[in-house]
Amino acid sequence: MHTEPAPAPLAELFLYLADRAQHVAELIRPALDAGEIVLTDRFCASTLAYQGAGRGLDPEGVRRADALLFLCPVRVGLARARGSDRFHAEEEAFHQRVQDGFLRLAGEDPAHWRTIDATQAADAVHGQVMDALAEVIG
């Protein structure tokens, strides 16, 4: 019998989303960068099944929690970026195309994406994130 207190369902969701991001940064991205083939099992589907169905969180809200788009001018984002990987070394035009791609995705499915104005102060951005999450998760 497990006796440690469990996190609240919403906290659990965000812990798993953070864990997934860390897993990508530490294992998946380096393997892909090394030219390796990566197979994953139940990646996003597990979150939908465990936190959505299992914990009773709205599955669509769980899906949308993974779709926040932070918007700022490309130059601002590049100036804030930390890292020396090949993406950070790309020209500004590349990053503009990437941003345009995200904006296109968000425009094609506005019910799925929430955009956050990332040019504001950190506390204002945090407030927008919390408002967006409250809207999609409930």
DSSP annotation string for 55-79:
T---HHHHHHTT-EEEE--HHHHHH
State which of 41, 58, 75 marks the end of a domain: 58
State which of 34, 58, 82 marks the end of a domain: 58
Backbone torsions φ then ψ of 69, nearest 5 degrees: -115, 115
CB proximity list for 92: less than 8 A, separation 6 or greater: 74, 75, 78
76 and 21 both lie in a single domain: no
Residue ranges making up the domain that contains 15: 7-58
21 and 75 both lie in a single domain: no
Structure tokens at 88: 């950070």
Tens of pLDDT, residue by residue, the chain (138 residues): 556 787 888 888 888 888 888 888 898 889 888 988 776 766 676 777 778 888 888 888 887 776 778 888 988 888 887 766 666 777 888 888 888 887 887 888 887 788 889 899 988 988 888 888 788 766
Contact (Cβ atoms closer than 8 angstroms) between residue 67 and residue 112: yes
47 and 74 both lie in a single domain: no
The total domain count for the chain is: 2
Give domain status of residue 1, yes or no: no
